[in-house]
Structure 1
Amino acid sequence: MIYLAVNAFLVVLWAGTTGADAFFWPVFPIAGWGIGVIAHWWDAYHGDDFTEEQIRHEMERLARSH
C-alpha cells in the first residue's frame, strides 16, 4: 500500500507541476522501487526451504554460542 500511495503521489506531483506533456520522471522511482518490491516478494515466497538438517545445525550452533 505504501508503494502505491507514494508512487501515486509522485505521479500527481509530476502532473501538477510539469503538465502531462512533460517527461514522465516518476518512472524512475516506480521502476527502481518496483524491482526491490519484486525481489523481496520472490525471496519471501519463493526462497529455498530449509531442511531439518539445516535447522538442527543452526540450533546447535546457536546453543553453543550462548
Structure 2
Amino acid sequence: MTVDHHAAIERIEAKRGFGRHATVYVAGNFLLVAIWAITSRGYFWPIWPMLGWGVGLGMNYWSVFLRKPISDDEIRRELEKGR
C-alpha cells in the first residue's frame, strides 16, 4: 500500500467521525446538566435532548461500526478526489 492509499483510508474514517460526535455529545450533555443544576433542580428536563441526540449518536455508531468495511471502491473514489 502506498502513502496515498493510507491517507485515503484515514480521510474516509475521519468522514465517518464517530469519535468527534461522541465527544461533542458528552460535552453537550454536561452543559445541559449544568444548566439544569444552576437554574432549578426540579423536573430533569435535559433527558429529552439527551435522548434525542443519543438516537442520532446511535445511528452514527451503526453507520460507522456495523456497516460494511471500507471498500476498494470507496478508497478509489477518495484517491480520485485527492488528485
TM-score category by the smaller chain?
A: 0.5 to 0.7
Higher relative contact order (CA 8 A, sep 6+): 2
Give the secondary-structure state (helix, strand or coil) at the position aligned to 2:45.
Answer: coil
Separation in 2 of the partners of 1:2 and 1:50? 25
Deviation track 1:2-57 (CA, whole Å, cap 9, x = no partner) reads 111111010010011012xx1100000110000110111111111245887xx4xx
Structure 1 counterpart of 2:59 = 39
Superposition misfits of 4+ residues, deviation over 6 angstroms: none
Residue 8 of structure 1 corresponds to: 30
Identity %: 33
| Corresponding pairs, count | 52
Task: Determine the C-alpha separation between the residues in 2 that align with 1:49 and 1:3.
Answer: 25
CA change 1:16–1:47 in 2 (3 A) is same
- What's the TM-score once normalised by structure 2's chain length? 0.54
Give the structure with higher Rg (CA): 1
Question: Taking structure 1 as the reference length, what is the TM-score of the superposition?
Answer: 0.66
